[in-house]
Structure 1
Amino acid sequence: MKTFGVLDHLEPKKVFKYFEILTKIPHGSYNCKAVSDFCVDFAKKRGLFVIQDDHYNVIIKKEASPSCAHKPALILQGHLDMVCQKDQGSPVDFTKDALELQIDGDFVSAKGTTLGGDDGIAVAYCLALLDDDSILHPPLEVVFTTEEEVGMEGATALDTSVLEGKYLLNIDSEEEGILLAGCAGGTTVKVSLPLKYKEMQGSLCRVSITGLLGGHSGTEIDKNRANAHILMGRLLCCVKGIHISRIYGALEQKDNAIPNECYAELICEDREAIEEAAAKLFQNFKEQFQGTDDGMEVRLEFSEMEKRDCLTQDAQDAVLYFLNHTPNGIHTMSRDIEGLVESSLNLGILKMDGEEISFSFGVRSSAPFYKEELAGCLESLARKLNGSYERVNDYPAWEYKKDSVLRDVFLKAYRQMYGKEMKVEMIHAGLECGIFASRIEGLDIVSFGPDIFDIHTTDERLSVPSVKRTWELLLKIIEEFP
């Protein structure tokens, strides 16, 4: 099996060369040292100015081409970390293994795992640009951040005082032909409930909800995709005579990924009752999520009599109350922009660990008061159930600007290249643009990128023709800027 050079024949060659290199370096969130060191070494070998901070953020500067020395500096920005999700049975260890790339027609994907096109393609574009002295360019300031996928921790910690540019190209969008000009702010909320146990004896039942599509909890929260954790809560709440021993999510969970699987282990008093309830709920689920989660499976596996430590009735009631009363999904839609989600939240992480069970939510809103409202609702639930509440990784919204030089340059270039208009939109997802805008006064920002489908899932795939077209657009922007 070919393990390297899979993308050698694809254009643009340097872009796909660096993209493939990145897939061979493990770079999930909180595991970015190796990929950060690679970028630093890349810069040093080419005599470029480079800074690496304690969070493994990297800033690389390249002086302008002589004919472009009069132009203002241009910042290009992407993030180094990726969301790590894998299919059941996949042998990939994201802490040390390379991804296994595959090509299917016009698409690049990874076998059984996420691809990391979000945001590896941005890093690949930037490295290819820095590696080509034939491209005429203004002063370039390339910024690679870390831990974007877990609350934008790298960007939050970054010292931006070294940056001189007032124009920033964020390459962290996944739809070609769409130019983003604003995004939601957000926060991460963690609720923990105390647990107590008692020993129970009975038939052991393992419940699994799998086969859901999942996806990005910002850009795909409006697609009516099922949340496996919420479904498990609904199912268990409808079954009488059960005692929960364990309830847990997938091995790899992120608060910004809609969970596509959930599991529970129960001691049950009446096998027929749980089979009947599960069959009825499964039919309801299939009808509710027809067309979005057609691969859904609900399975029950029974074994002989066992003794297990199970939740006390009070603890079990609290867990199921929380799962059945927590808000999840879309909260409000924008009144100004048709089809734009204004506020939402996603229960992305569910972990049961000894004496507590924890629930982690990604909360998003383009209106700050809705972010506070949703966080407050979760805090109230936590207090009602004698649990704890923690809020971390707040990041600001990126507000739309009426006047933008960068936006005008993009729209003109796109029109010239393709004879049609580029769409300008806002997005219900957190981008690091809001953090940079809050730190650098007068910063002009746009966000763009090639087509990447089903990010944050094992169906993630990157469009090869779109990567090429987006590269050509980037080169034209650099040529015509400002």
Structure 2
Amino acid sequence: MSVLNKLQPEGVFAIFEQLCAIPHGSRNTKAISDFCVKFAEQRGLRYIQDENNNVIIFAPASAGMEHAQPVILQGHLDMVCEKTPDCDLDMEKQGLRLQTDGEWVWADQTTLGGDDGIAVAYALAILDDASIQHPPLEVILTVDEEIGMLGAASIDLGQIGGRRLLNIDSEEEGVLLTSCAGGATVSCSIPMMWSVKKGLRVTVKIHGLRGGHSGTEIDKGRANANVLLGRFLNELDKEYPYALCTVDGGLKDNAIPRESTADMIISPDYLEELCAYAAKTQNAWREEFGENDPEIAVSVQEIGIDSHEVMFGDCRRNTLAVMSQLPNGVQAMSQEIEGLVQTSLNLGILKTDFRGVHMTFSVRSSINAEKDALMEQLADLMARYGGGAEINGEYPAWEYRKESKLRRIMTQVYTEQYGEAPKIQAIHAGLECGLLAGKLPDLDAISFGPDIEEIHTTRERLSIPSVQRTWNFILGVLKACK
């Protein structure tokens, strides 16, 4: 039964609901890619689908606009899959459980994937409506944007003729983005040796955090559960003895982690003191982070008396030392654009296995030299404690274009429709425009989109009125691109 069938624009929400029924987390994009291919085939449109599941769909101009230069509509097919701890949905195999109150759309207990399912829905709805006026269209739908823009890096754009690109991958209506930070994923590891210790096994859990996008929310003063866990373990080490089994937290490098846990072996006589220490720490953190993260919780769960592998000697010391010294969060603010984060990093994933402790960071900067220096700092820190670092998914910054015909067109259309000029801004989060501009010389690109709140979290929601207004805006821009 359809949940969104009464919402406007009807064609956009009908397609969006179909997309949400298809599991499409990063690295799980074959089904949604095939959906787009079938969509093109059923409408007799030429398409390209590559081995990585990127899709390009070509549509001829509407009547009277045959001589206009092509316009590129662009978004990504994958989403960040996050869910609440009590959610029973298998996001690898099951579709989302959509809900709406007539003003917002969200998914029950999971992320919604409005980032960037709404771009795909807009593009396909335009291709599906013969009454819409538009130049020749080239729809570029990439994969694995959320894990390093891998699709944009691998896609072959040799058959693309357009040099005007509408990137529908932003979450604030009324803002036209004209540049973004570059970034990379840095995977760090501390090698491990193990011994066996018997005692009371407990799990310390840092939870209740707000989390968020590691680009757009990195400056909101929200806590990082993995960083807090490191603080807790290092302070605890000064007060009481414990043996450390594992540290684990976070699922995505580009999402600020909401939960992190440590398994440890303690003396049974120490349990009451540990619980009191956890409560004291929780109160101190709630005061420290205030309204930015008011529900931080530190809990202790008793598992039972047993023998378990624990981190041995120097390996444990190295792990605690790294976790206490690693940089995280905002590192520099822009001197040119007020309020813009220039350089940051996020410890998004913390994981323990038999080989060691692994830490995955999302590093971002609009200054390449600062990005490189930050990655070198991580590598040096790891090397100091016997570990290593590997850089993956590096992508360039998207530089501001002083002269932009597309920006003038979009500003004019927006002003006519809204009665005021849009905001022209840069963003700290990564966008695919930089990679695409490197493949398409002289590319004129703008990123924009409807209001989407709390992306990459289970509180994500999409504004219905904003989707309608942005739809009208897109149609106006296409009509004006003569």
- Report the TM-score, using the length of structure 1 for normalisation: 0.98
The residue matched to 1:361 in structure 2 has which SS?
strand
The answer to whether 1:108 aligns with 2:100 is no
CA shift, 1:105, in A, is 4.4
Matches within 5 A, 1:7-26: 7-26=4-23
Partner of 2:257: 259
* Structure 2 CA distance for aligned equivalents of residues 344 and 304 of structure 1: 40
- Aligned-partner SS, 2:291: coil
Could you tell me whether the CA contact under 8 Å between 1:244 and 1:267 is conserved in 2? yes
Matched, 1:444 2:441: no
Summarize the Cα distance change of 1:468–1:242 in structure 2 as closer, same or farther, 3 Å threshold.
Answer: same
Q: CA deviation at 1:305?
A: 2.4
Counterpart in 1 of 2:211?
Answer: 214
Match for 1:264: what amino acid? A
**How far, CA to CA, are the matches of 1:167 and 1:296 in structure 2?**
45
Distance across 1 between alignment mates of 2:462 and 2:304 = 47
2:222 alignment counterpart: 225
Separation (CA, whole Å) in 2 of partners of 1:136 and 1:247:
55
CA distance in 1, matches of 2:47, 2:355: 46
Aligned to 2:235: 238
Q: 1:304 to 1:57 in 2, by over 3 A?
A: closer
- Report if the CA contact (8 A) 2:211-2:258 is conserved: yes
Give secondary structure in 1 for the equivalent of 2:471.
helix
Mapping of 1:13-412 within 5 angstroms? Answer: 13-239=10-236, 240-250=240-250, 253-269=251-267, 270-412=270-412
Worse overlay, 339-348 or 103-112: 103-112
| SS of match in other structure, 2:204 | strand
Shift of 1:303: 4.1
Alpha-carbon displacement from aligned partner over 1:387-419 (angstroms, at most 9, x marks no partner): 121001110000001110111011111111111
Question: Contact 1:62–1:139 (CA<8 Å) still a contact in 2?
Answer: yes
One-letter amino acid matched to 1:63: P
Would the aligned equivalents of 1:58 and 1:143 in 2 still touch at CA under 8 Å? Answer: yes
Which amino acid in 1 is paired with 2:352? Answer: M
The alignment of Structure 1 onto Structure 2 pairs a total of residues equal to: 477
Q: Which moved more, 1:310-319 or 1:136-145?
A: 310-319
The alpha carbon displacement at 1:121 in A equals 0.1
SS at match of 1:67: coil
In 2, the alpha carbon distance for the partners of 1:455 and 1:176 equals: 14
Rounded Cα–Cα distance in structure 2 between residues aligned with 1:340 and 1:211: 27
SS in 1 for 2:290: coil
Q: Is the 8 A contact 1:28 1:95 kept in 2?
A: yes
Contact 2:279–2:299 (8 Å) recurs in 1: no
Moved more, 296-305 or 57-66: 296-305
**Larger displacement relative to structure 2 (196-205 or 401-410):** 196-205
Aligned mates of 1:276, 1:136 — CA distance in 2? 67
Give 1:279 deviation, angstroms.
2.4
Taking the aligned partners of 1:437 and 1:78, their CA distance within structure 2 comes to: 14
* Maintained 8 Å contact 1:189/1:360: yes
Q: Residue 449 of structure 1 aligns to which amino acid in structure 2?
A: G
- Once the two structures are TM-superposed, the CA of residue 296 in structure 1 deviates from its matched residue by 1.6
For 2:298, what is the secondary structure of its paired residue? Answer: strand
CA distance in 2 between counterparts of 1:371 and 1:157 reads: 22
CA distance in 2, matches of 1:246, 1:104: 42
**1:55 is matched by which residue type in structure 2?**
N
Q: Counterparts of 1:144 and 1:103 in 2: how far apart (Å)?
A: 26
Contact 1:19 1:121 in 2 (8 A): yes
Describe the superposition over 1:163-213 as per-residue Cα deviations: whole angstroms up to 9, x where unpaired.
Answer: 000100000000000000000000110001111111112222211111110
Verify the 8 A CA contact 1:238 1:277 in the aligned structure 2: no
In structure 2, how many angstroms separate the alpha carbons of the residues matched to 1:390 and 1:246?
A: 22
| Cα distance in 2 between the residues matched to 1:226 and 1:313 | 30
The residue type paired with residue 450 of structure 1 is: P
Q: Is the 8 A contact 2:188 2:388 kept in 1?
A: yes
Superposition RMSD on alpha carbons, in Å?
Answer: 1.0
1:267-300 deviation per Cα after TM superposition (whole angstroms, max 9, x unaligned): 1132244233322321221112110111221111
Alpha-carbon distance in 2 for matches of 1:322, 1:154: 33
% identity of equivalent residues: 48
CA contact (8 A) 1:254 1:349 kept: yes
SS at match of 1:223: coil
CA distance in 2, matches of 1:74, 1:299: 53
User: Per-residue deviation at 1:66?
Assistant: 2.5
Moved >3 Å (runs of 4+): none
Letter in 1 for 2:168: I
Give 1:90's aligned amino acid.
C
In 2: Cα distance, 1:13 partner to 1:79 partner: 21
8 Å Cα contact 2:74-2:119 kept in structure 1: yes
Residue 476 of structure 2 is matched in structure 1 by 476
Deviation per residue, 1:210-244 (Å, 9 max, x gap): 11100000000000110000001111111120111
Separation in 2, partners of 1:304, 1:83: 35
SS of 2:22 mapped into structure 1: coil
Unaligned residue ranges in structure 2 (runs of 5+): none
Q: TM-score normalized by structure 2?
A: 0.98
Indicate the SS of the match to 1:364: strand
Distance 1:86 1:337 in 2: 35
